[in-house]
Amino acid sequence: MASVIEVKGLNKEFRDIKAVSNLSFSVPAGQVYGFLGQNGAGKSTTIRMLLTLIKPTSGSIEIFGMDLQKHRKEILRKTGAIIERPDLYKYLTALENLRIFGTMSGVKIPEKKLRDQLAMVGLADRANSKVKTYSQGMKQRLGIATALVHDPELIILDEPTNGLDPQGIADIRNLILHLKKDLGKTLVVSSHLLSEVELIADSMIIIDKGRKLVEGKVNDLFDPSEIVVEVKTINNETAYEKLKTSRLSQFVLSKRNDAVLLKLHREQVPAVMKEMVQMDIGILSFHSKHSLEDYFLSLTTANPHVEAAAN
């Protein structure tokens, strides 16, 4: 499958802070690509580099097979984006906002198409209402409409469900899936909400402190037949070192202060427990946990109880 975005060795430094470190990833065409990480992981910095709002310290970005630095205007004409909350004119109507953004895109857009865009995001009946009367969810949907006004091939959404109630989150989720399935768009969706990424994304990357931790298809990363097991032992440091140099190393995710985390298939649990006993690892408890949540936490270091993930 062709890639819309190819990022290689991307770095961004702000004085003494390394916000993005040797980041590489590929976004397949026609998919929703989840960009997952806890707050401060480097997601927004990376997205700003993709949109040329800030320059990388080093590394390369290709979009639509073109170098971003050399073909900036051509690429951005085919790209729509929202960075955090949409920047709208609150004293103008939704339709007037779309007219302005259409003019800014440099494309003359017929009135019917503008109204069709509002209908697509569920705002047809509020086209002539001022934005200041909108709920936050409605503003988010209008923001997405402004990003789509020039019919881009690539759509980049940075935390599109931030601050929304459950209904607002569901509305944005359904809109994202509509854009992919019915209109064939490629979307990059940044989020710290694991449950939302799992529901909408085909492929994803997890980053932490600007580093890529894992990348792949969502179905492969979150296989329901696999579980995360929290093993508490008499000496976690010793247990971790023994496991990392044993046949069980393939199952080791990371070490917390109070436990070692393993990822394995359910049917492998008895054999793994038996082998740990034979290795003279003093097991205090062996507890399976919610795989999606704990897989994410086991990889990130934003949680004070999580240490660096094993490679």
pLDDT in tens, 101-153: 888 877 778 889 999 999 988 899 999 999 999 988 889 889 999 999 888 99
How far apart CA 282 and CA 279 sit, in angstroms, is 9
Amino acid letter for position 33:
Y
- What the block records as the tokens of 8 is 């290689």
Q: Report the alpha-carbon angle 260-266-268, nearest 5.
A: 75
Q: What is the pLDDT of residue 310?
A: 31
Q: What is the pLDDT of residue 103?
A: 86
Q: What is the pLDDT of residue 49?
A: 96
Cβ atoms of 217 and 270 closer than 8 Å: no
Contact partners, residue 204, CB within 8 Å, separation at least 6: 33, 34, 35, 36, 197, 215, 216, 218, 221
Q: What is the pLDDT of residue 68?
A: 96
Q: What is the pLDDT of residue 92?
A: 95
Which residue bears the tokens 């759509």? Answer: 155
Low-confidence ranges of the chain (pLDDT < 70): 1, 223-224, 289-311
Q: Give the sheet arrangement for strand 3-14, strand by strand.
A: 17-28, 3-14, 58-63, 66-67
Ranges of each domain in the chain: 3-217, 226-299
Contact partners, residue 70, CB within 8 Å, separation at least 6: none
Question: Where are any strands of DSSP class E within the chain?
Answer: 3-14, 17-28, 32-36, 58-63, 66-67, 79-83, 154-158, 186-191, 203-208, 211-217, 226-233, 252-255, 260-265, 283-289
Summary mean pLDDT of the chain: 87
Q: Enter the DSSP assignment of 159.
A: S
CATH fold of the domain at 226-299: Alpha-Beta Plaits (3.30.70)
**What radius of gyration do the chain's Cα atoms show?**
22
Q: What is the pLDDT of residues 239-278, one digit of tens each?
A: 999 999 999 999 987 777 778 888 888 889 899 999 999 9
- What the block records as the tokens of 82 is 């929202």
Nearest to 207 by CA among 41, 24, 1: 41
CATH fold of the domain at 3-217: Rossmann fold (3.40.50)
Does the pTM surpass 0.85? The reply is no
